[in-house]
Amino acid sequence: MSAQPTTRVQVAIRIRPTIKKGSHNEKVVVSQSGHNGVLVNEDTKNEKKYVYDNVFGSTASQSDVYEKIGRPMLEEAYKGFNVCLFAYGQTGSGKTHSLIGDIYDEDKKGITPRFIQDLFDEAQRRVDEDPELTIKVSFTMIEVYMEKVHDLLAPRQKGVESESLEIHEDSNRRVYVKGASVHHVLGYERAMQLLKKGNASRQTAETKMNETSSRSHAIMQISMSQEFESIDKKDLECTISLVDLAGSERQSKTESSGQSFEEAKKINHSLLMLGRALNSFSDRKNQDAFISLRESKLTRLLSESFGGNSKTWMLATVSPTLYNITETISTLDYASNALAIKNKARINKSIRDLEFRDLVKLREHLEACLTQENEALAVCNSKVEETNILIAKLKERVQTSNNVQIETELERALDERINITKKLKSVLQAKKGGSMSCFSGVCTFKVSAVGKEYFTLVVPVYDCGGPPPLLVCHTDTVWKDGDATCDVHCSEILHFPSFASGGARVTMWMGKFSDSKVSSSVVRADDGNPQLLCSQRFVVEDVSSPRTFFQEQPFYICVEGFLP
């Protein structure tokens, strides 16, 4: 299996114009340098330049920002990639303005309304060109407030706190919010109604830095599928995530107290956890470090956006003044770390395509079994025909002679015919009623940690009536000097297909080393949960880097099912 190509997180900086009121509008010390540089000049002795993918100065328009970020995201989404944009920065630095803006003013619209407008315009163009194409779009909008997840599009009663939702993972370890409402959308106008409703439901409050400071992290998810009537064309699906993070704050500046102070602590905690995750993902010196994304609800919800199946953009907004220089430098460092993060985005084919492909493989497998059975039957029939010819000749000789030897040969021929017939019946019975493989699927993994590691692998086969089988495994890896040992254990199979009631068998091997192959015996299907006792120890000796060898060498496990 070839490795998925990596794509780096794209990072852009937007410098907010100065605000001409009060003492906060001090000397400008942050400026744009070229199309991708930010120059920080606190004084003539301390000058530092940062480089990113794009930098937008104070004169950049909303349209400029969209063309560099929103337009590429739209193109990748229609190719079938998951895409994500998250806006980060100090409170009052212009995150929500850049992401949402004024949806009633064409010039002041942010990335989100422009993206949605182009999403539906492109959908209409594609449907007009191909009558067999159907494009479906649905919206979900949630917020993380005080480490609780709420549905921003669910009906609310005044004075009553909305229900807190739980975060779950499906069988493919994809994160989702259980109970969040899904709204199917047919056009731009309906999408804008949902966007306005969701923004109106967000937790906001006035601080000294911002009159309408967002007190929660808002995540809008747009699910899009492209379905074709013809099976010759690939059905695609993708998830588009637009994230408006709450602004980081310093209590000494915002002068928050009471509930606002508690909100600020939760906001800063989740942003701190997100920052630690970014640092871990971007630290190329410590590839084996454990990265926990469960420290906060925010990092868990954004887990696919960093190192996962997504193409990700980051827009960091900063203030240009000396008064905010501490927060600005923190944001620029935050963004620099994101530049080093690499994701493994892949095109998302729909379930229907996967099922059809596996059906074709199953048909080819059954046709091969039938061919083998017919060949064996033809051989047996040929022997029967030869015996019948011999018997006919012997009968002819008996009719012309009473020789005892001829009668003995005839009896022997008759006995041989009976034996061949019995063997033929035995072969046919074994082919029709014996154990015969009805499916097989090969899954792969690589060793990623020292010690015990538990995981579940999806077996890529069509199961004719349910989810794909799941193989439960664990590894126990020890690195020592120039040697390395890895014990691989397969313990059980979940969702085993009901039609394979004849039992299950697993075979494992390491990479191209065929002599490392080991197979279990065929075990009972056990009502869809076969219990396995298959283990193998893989040892690597006298290599310069056993850790690198194991991590780059894939392990393969073949799962087979048998008919009764």
Q: Rounded CA gap, 48 and 46, in Å?
A: 7
- List Cβ<8 Å contacts ≥24 apart for 357-362: 358/460, 358/461, 358/462, 359/462, 361/461, 361/462, 362/439, 362/461, 362/462, 362/464
Confirm or deny that 502 is annotated as ligand binding: no
Q: Which runs of E-coded beta strand occur in 173-310? A: 175-178, 183-185, 204-205, 213-214, 217-228, 236-244
Question: Would you say 553 is a known binding-site residue?
Answer: no
Least Cα distance to 24 among 272, 324, 249 occurs for 324
* CA nearest to 491, candidates 506, 512, 469: 506
User: Is 511 assigned a ligand-binding role in the annotation?
Assistant: no
List the structure tokens of 190: 């309906």
- Spell 513-525 as b/e; 16+ CB within 10 A means b: eeebeeebebbeb
94 is in an annotated binding site: yes
Q: What b/e readout covers 470-498, taking b as 16+ CB neighbours within 10 angstroms?
A: bbbbebebebeeeebbbebbbebbbbbbe
What span, in angstroms and rounded, lies between the C-alpha atoms of 505 and 503? 7
* Lookup: tokens for 548: 């690198």
Residue 452 among known ligand-binding residues: no
Rounded CA separation 470/460 (Å): 9
Residue 485 is assigned to a ligand binding site? no
Q: Measuring CA to CA, how many Å separate 192 from each of 98, 117, 173, 222, 449?
A: 16, 9, 31, 13, 46
User: In this structure, what token pair is assigned to residue 425?
Assistant: 């019946």
What stretches of 90-147 adopt beta strand conformation (E)? 133-145
117, containing H or E segment: helix 111-129
- Joined tokens for residue 473: 């495994």
| Two structure tokens written together for 457 | 């692998």
User: CA 149 → CA 14, 146, 557, distances in Å?
Assistant: 29, 8, 39
**Binding-site annotation, residues for ATP:** 89-96
**Binding-site annotation, residues:** 89-96
